[in-house]
Amino acid sequence: MNIAQVVVGDTGGVDEGLVTLAAPVGERDWRVPLRGREALVGKLVGVWDQGADGLVHVLHGMSGCGKTAVALELLVRVQGGGQAAERVWWVDARHAAGFVARMRAVARQVGVQEVRAGGVADALWERLGGAGYRWLLVVDGVDDVSLLDGPGGMAAGTGWIRPHRCGLGMVVVTSGCGMGRLWGGGAVLHAVGPLSAEDAAGVLLDHAGGGGTRVQARALARRLGGLPLALRIAASYVSEVAGMPEALRNGGVPTDFAAFQAALDEYGAGVNPAGAVAETWRMSVELLHRQGLVHAQYVVAVLAAFAPAPIPYTVLLQPAVLAVLPGGEGLDGTTVWRTLRELAALQLVDLDVSAPADEGPLCVSLHPLIRDIARAGTQSGAVVALMEQALRLPEVRRSPQDPESWPLWRALVPHCLDLLRWARSEAVGFSRAERTVCAEAAERAALFLQVQGMYRQAHESLEDVLALRAALGADEVATASTRHTLAVTLHSLGKWDAAQELYEQVWHAVAAREGSTHPRALAARHELGRLLVDRGQLAEAQGHLQVVREAREATGGAEHPDALNARHELARVLHLLEQWPQACSEYEALLAAQRRVLGAGHPRTVTAWHNYACLLQDMGQPQEARTQCAGVLKARQTLHGDDHLSTLNTKFLMAVILWALDRQQQARQALAEVEARSRRQLGDAHPLTLLCEERLQRWVAVSASDC
């Protein structure tokens, strides 16, 4: 291999005259592997081994993602293979004048003599195209693609760098730009993205093995967005501090991965590797400005003000709202879309461009370190305005209790709860109207959490919403919906006394002001009746539920969903009163109506189906009960997963049925699993946990006596 230093003339302003074309092999750490890039390096080596394809191979990604490291790894691999390069040129393109000088130096090496101004590039590629030896040209650090235009144009194939006709050569460029139109049809783009959490954790452990566990390394890796440069900076910091005499350490300096992450979240500046990509962020904004996308910095500032989670941009980034906010003047849907696409091409964001409808809205995710940089110019007021408009959209107004709304609410929840945190902070200075929007968004998010069985998170969020609404001067009626949802959550958590007190408060407060048949009063009275059924106070429960059913049927008809819901609870009363024939007839009629009105897979339909299976077991029909229970379990696992309270109740029922079928070992194993999940998800004192514990002890005792 011939890697040389040459003296050139007319270097475009480089005074030294002496430039190097040697690869910076010292930047490659031979002691640790290049993690997470094997597939990409292998692909490039495959191109080399097959005789090259004449295309320009562009490794693109944000600053610090490891583009240079991939190019160096390729160089090492091709030098160590059976088709080693005879000539390698490494051209540093970080400065325009130095780039031109180096390209002229390459031209000299391949035999180009003095030619007329502007003709060097043509002569260079004519020589390379006819070369009879294997060569590799790497152009490293191209932040502005126009630098490669030279006397012609990169995209047109007439620039300093261009496609070639030599089957023995290969051209590789590293760049922060992934905009295909700027590179032209003669280039193939290879994205060098963030590392996976596992590979990124490996980088941290490679460079600071004593910095903590792999679990802690994965957590820090995710916080740093899997960016290799940031990972190495963090690891070096931890390693250096850990090796420092304790007497010389400043108090509170992070000495391991967990402490580093905590400091990063709390303080940001001082330990944040985001500074390593700040200059690239500035250049990216300038590039987008030159492309006519003058709102890029504003859009990123808005994205950074959202929670650190995927942002459903088709719902939250409403162009009509962005356009009237300071900094967003002139924005329309096309501009928002183009800006997001180009930010994605620069790997500053991850952008969904298509997804099945049942997987939720299209989302955009901002890289964590870019978020740290852009969040300094926070746009929290813009986020409130965008959320206010989103809450008016038909798809968002749909109740979080509706399964069809779940994919959307799954994406909205972190942003709604983040706004709640902002609204409760005195430092933010939100207006009363803005805080009201935050409370509404957070309450709907908490309802989704409650429906999904995340009761503890729902409980905490609802308490915060109530505190915020109280601070805004809301009275008992104004907070009725919040307190109703909180009561349902407490009910699910097994805190029955607190739930009953809230149900009664809401019922009486709304009925006194709005009337006893107001929907909110009826809803609270219905839930009170349901709780009384759970407590075994059947006569009192029946009285409440019968009133609710009659009122619902009077206003909405016998098959209104709320009327059917009351009818279901009344069927439960018949069941628990051991009026089994009447209960069986009622469940069967109810199920037929629910399947017709709500659908077979609706949560309410599945709940009635569960109770029907339970009735069959109580009636001494375990085989039929098992068949029905298996269907219910499959439906609930599909709806909620394995840890939801509803699913655990059905698993408990299946264990009881198995015991009745004399499959005792299988029943004990099933019940032990339910107890473990209930204890983990709901707590030691939850009624289901206690019921499992008591039943399991009884079954173990029975099995022991049988022996």
Mean model confidence pLDDT for the chain? 88
Q: What is the pLDDT of residue 281?
A: 72
Distance, in Å, from the CA atom of 596 to the CA atom of 571, rounded to the nearest integer, reads 18
Residue 251: pLDDT band with limits 50, 70, 90:
low
Classify burial at 269, counting beta carbons within 10 Å of its beta carbon; exposed 0-12, middle 13-18, buried 19 or more.
exposed
Q: Which of 137-151, 372-386, 607-621 has the highest mean pLDDT?
A: 607-621
Has residue 377 got a pLDDT over 80?
no
Handedness of CA 184, 190, 194, 197 (dihedral sign): positive
Q: What are the pLDDT digits (tens) for 509-530?
A: 999 999 999 999 999 999 999 9
Residue that has been written with the tokens 């068949």 in this structure: 627
DSSP label of 195 = P
Which amino acid makes up residue 653?
Answer: L
271 in Cβ contact with 262 (< 8 Å): no
State the number of CA atoms in the 13 A half-sphere of 350 facing the CB.
13
**Residues above pLDDT 90, as percent of the chain:** 59
Which residues on neighbouring strands pair with residue 7, listed in sequence order? 18
Beta carbons within 10 angstroms of residue 55's beta carbon: 15
Q: Which of 81-95, 302-316, 564-578, 606-620 is least confident? A: 81-95
Q: How far apart are the first and last CA of the chain?
A: 82
Q: Which is it for strands 187-191 and 56-60: parallel, antiparallel or unpaired?
A: parallel
Residue 106 contacts residue 124 (beta carbons within 8 Å): yes
Per-residue pLDDT tens for 357-369? 667 899 999 888 8
More confident residue, 588 or 323: 588
Q: What is the mean pLDDT of residues 112-140?
A: 86
Show the tokens assigned to 364: 């955009």
**How large a percentage of the chain has pLDDT more than 70?**
91
**Alpha-carbon gap, residue 174 to 192, rounded angstroms:** 10
Nearest to 72 by CA among 40, 28, 22, 135: 28
C-beta separation of 216 from 258 below 8 A: yes
pLDDT band at 7 (very low <50, low <70, confident <90, very high): very low
Instruction: Label residue 269 by pLDDT band (50, 70, 90).
Output: very low
Q: Which helix (H) or strand (E) holds 6?
A: strand 5-7
Question: What single DSSP character describes residue 250?
Answer: P
48-57, 374-383, 697-706 — which one is most confidently predicted on average?
A: 48-57
pLDDT at 250: 61
For residue 6, name the pLDDT band (cuts at 50, 70, 90): very low
Lowest mean pLDDT among 226-230, 252-256, 639-643: 252-256
- What was the pLDDT predicted at 632? 96
DSSP single-letter state for residue 25: G
pLDDT of residue 284: 76
Residue 374 CB partners (closer than 8 Å, separation 6+): 281, 297, 300, 301, 303, 304, 366
Average pLDDT over residues 649-665: 95
Region 603-623: what's the mean pLDDT? 96
Tell me: the pLDDT tens digits for 38-79? 999 999 999 998 887 899 999 998 888 899 999 999 999 888
What is the rounded average pLDDT of the residues 610-615?
Answer: 96
pLDDT digits (tens, 9 = 90+) for 33-42: 999 999 999 9
Compute the average pLDDT of residues 105-112.
Answer: 90
pLDDT of residue 694: 94
Give me the numbers of helices (H) and strands (E) for the chain, helices first please.
31, 10
> pLDDT digit string (tens) for 166-206?
989 999 999 988 889 999 999 999 999 999 999 999 999 99
- Helix 645-660 × helix 622-640 angle, to 10°: 160
Task: Determine the pLDDT at residue 280.
Answer: 66
Asked if residue 10 has pLDDT above 50, the reply is no
Which strands form 349-351's sheet, in the order they lie side by side? 311-312, 363-366, 349-351
- Position 380, amino acid: S
pLDDT tens digit string along 386-436? 999 899 999 899 999 999 999 999 999 999 999 999 898 876 788 999 999
Smallest CA-to-CA distance from 386 within 454, 462, 322, 309 is with: 322
Question: Phi-psi bin for 659: left (phi > 0), alpha (psi -120 to 50), beta?
Answer: alpha
Q: Which pLDDT value is given to residue 670?
A: 95
Give the three-state DSSP class for 465: helix
What is the tens place of the pLDDT at every residue in 481-513?
A: 999 999 999 999 999 999 999 999 999 999 999
* Closest to 527 in 3D by CA, of 507, 557, 498: 507
Radius of gyration of the chain (CA): 33
Between 440 and 237, the more confident residue is: 440
Cα 437 to its chain centre, rounded Å, is 24
3-state secondary structure 90-152: EEECCCHHHHHHHHHHHHHHCCCCCCCCCCHHHHHHHHHHCCCCCEEEEEEEECCHHHHHCCC
User: What gap in Å lies between CA 702 and CA 543, rounded to an integer?
Assistant: 40
